[in-house]
Chains A and B, each alone.
Chain A
Amino acid sequence: MARITAGVTTSHVPAIGAALDLDNDTTEYWAPVFAGYKWSQEWIAEERPDVVILVFNDHASAFSLEMIPTFAIGCADEFPIADEGFGPRPVPTVLGHPGLACHLAQSLILDEFDMTVINQMAVDHGLSVPMSLMFGRTDAWPVRVVPIAVNVVQFPPPTGERCFKLGQAIRRAVQSYPEDLSVQVWGTGGMSHQLQGPRAGLINQPFDNAFLDHMTGDTSYLRSISHIEYLREAGSEGIELVMWLVMRGALGENPIELQRFYHVPASNTAVGHLVLTASK
């Protein structure tokens, strides 16, 4: 049977991808960011998961404003790298796991999560930057990916509570998949940042650190954070943190923190990263 073994959260700042792609990752500015992922790269090389269910948001790459799905799941064989306005990132095509993805789509919809099913999608930095941070430079990603796209671009995104419950449903669905697969769930985006308007540049380190603290143990605080509180405290783009709660919901009770990293700034953003193991 398939099983969820661990969870990862990470920010997905586009400038991190650019720093790697332009060989700027050892500069004084960027080296501390990449140093925060060194342990995690070694850990995942040992863990060798078969599949990552990667919760991310599209940034006007695959989804225009013609249609705005709240939750969508990628069931394709592969996902090409999107051109975000400066050419596609020079990273490998992302390979899907249609077997698990179609099982998840069917299970989640029957479990009352009304997923949009995606059979073709280019993926942008929201997905490729976490891959680069965890696997470094590579000619072929060493894992299959089931992308789950969450709308955080147009207000309102789904609530944190809803995201948490989606994670719980993902856990149930994975556990009912017959193939023997080691599956990780990643939640990406955040932490505090605001990219627009006169308040751009907002960072809230106390908020972010409290959020990191609550990712293990009791989840009631995280699940109760309202949209207006995210907007006020973590910035208009910090509301992406709801995606971390999908991962948290999928891990079950009392996960164990193996790695924590927090760094300000990467471009306009506070970088946060966790590796958690799932409870048995």
Chain B
Amino acid sequence: MPDNSDLDDIPGTTVFTAALSHQGFHLNQFCMSLKDPQNRSRFLRGTRAYLDEWPMTEQQKQAVINRDYNAMIALGGNIYFLAKIFATDGQSFQTAAASMTGMTVEEYAAMMLHGGRSPEGLRSIREGR
């Protein structure tokens, strides 16, 4: 087994490893299907029925229905695949990113305009730096 203790040591960050890719395979492949405009409209018309076509776990389906991106990531979702969901919703990357931080869209946009989130204190949980 690779030692991933360093990868798990970054605050508020999930590193998309091969193991997560395995866990999230069907979730991410469902996202990929939203490249097709017909699939996008079927998904928006009947989200639950569309998700039931995919061998995803119930937790993964609920996270998609709730648009809970942190939960989707914890269950193996990758942000570039999940981007197909918020693109289908007509939502910007910045709005989706803000939703993962606990900040409002306005607060997040203001933070970005002021130079973004400083890495200070967010590099390592272990080392507190």
How far, in whole Å, are A60 and B32 apart by their CA atoms in the complex? 7
Of A60, A154, A202, A233, the contact of B116 (CB 8 Å cutoff): A202
Is the pair B112, A201 in contact by a Cβ cutoff of 8 Å? yes
Main secondary structure of the interface of A (DSSP, over half): loop
Expressed in whole angstroms, the minimum distance between the Cβ of B24 and any Cβ of chain A is: 8
Chain B residues with Cβ below 8 Å from A61 are 35
How far, in whole Å, are A153 and B83 apart by their CA atoms in the complex? 13
Whether, in the assembled complex, A277 has its beta carbon less than 8 Å from a beta carbon of chain B, the answer is no
Expressed in whole angstroms, the minimum distance between the Cβ of B127 and any Cβ of chain A is: 10
Is the pair A198, B83 in contact by a Cβ cutoff of 8 Å? no
CB within 8 Å of B: which A222-236 residues: 228, 231-233, 235-236
Chain A residues with Cβ below 8 Å from B17 are 154-155
Whether, in the assembled complex, B57 has its beta carbon less than 8 Å from a beta carbon of chain A, the answer is no
Known contacts A85-B87, A154-B16, A198-B101; A65/B29 CB under 8 A: yes
Is the pair A268, B94 in contact by a Cβ cutoff of 8 Å? yes
CB within 8 Å of A: which B46-91 residues: 69-70, 73, 78-81, 83-85, 87-88, 90
Known contacts A85-B40, A153-B80, A228-B7; A202/B122 CB under 8 A: yes
Chain A residues with Cβ below 8 Å from B100 are 196-198, 200
Chain A residues with Cβ below 8 Å from B123 are 232-233
Is the pair B93, A267 in contact by a Cβ cutoff of 8 Å? yes
CB within 8 Å of B: which A55-110 residues: 59-61, 64-66, 68, 82-87
How far, in whole Å, are A15 and B95 apart by their CA atoms in the complex? 12
Expressed in whole angstroms, the minimum distance between the Cβ of A234 and any Cβ of chain B is: 8
Chain A residues with Cβ below 8 Å from B101 are 197-201
Of A84, A197, A204, A265, the contact of B87 (CB 8 Å cutoff): A84
How many B residues face the partner with a CB closer than 8 A?
56
How far, in whole Å, are A234 and B34 apart by their CA atoms in the complex? 30
CB within 8 Å of B: which A255-280 residues: 264-265, 267-268, 270
Known contacts A60-B80, A196-B97; A65/B28 CB under 8 A: yes
Is the pair B117, A202 in contact by a Cβ cutoff of 8 Å? yes
Whether, in the assembled complex, A195 has its beta carbon less than 8 Å from a beta carbon of chain B, the answer is yes
Is the pair A153, B78 in contact by a Cβ cutoff of 8 Å? yes
How far, in whole Å, are A185 and B11 apart by their CA atoms in the complex? 35
Provide the B11-43 mask, 1 if CB < 8 A to any CB of A, else 0.
Answer: 111111110010011001101101111001000
How far, in whole Å, are A232 and B128 apart by their CA atoms in the complex? 12
Whether, in the assembled complex, B92 has its beta carbon less than 8 Å from a beta carbon of chain A, the answer is yes
CB within 8 Å of A: which B91-129 residues: 92-94, 97-98, 100-102, 108, 111-113, 115-119, 122-124
Instruction: List 5 contacting pairs A-B, 8 Å CB cutoff, sorted by A.
Output: A196-B97, A201-B112, A232-B124, A236-B13, A268-B94
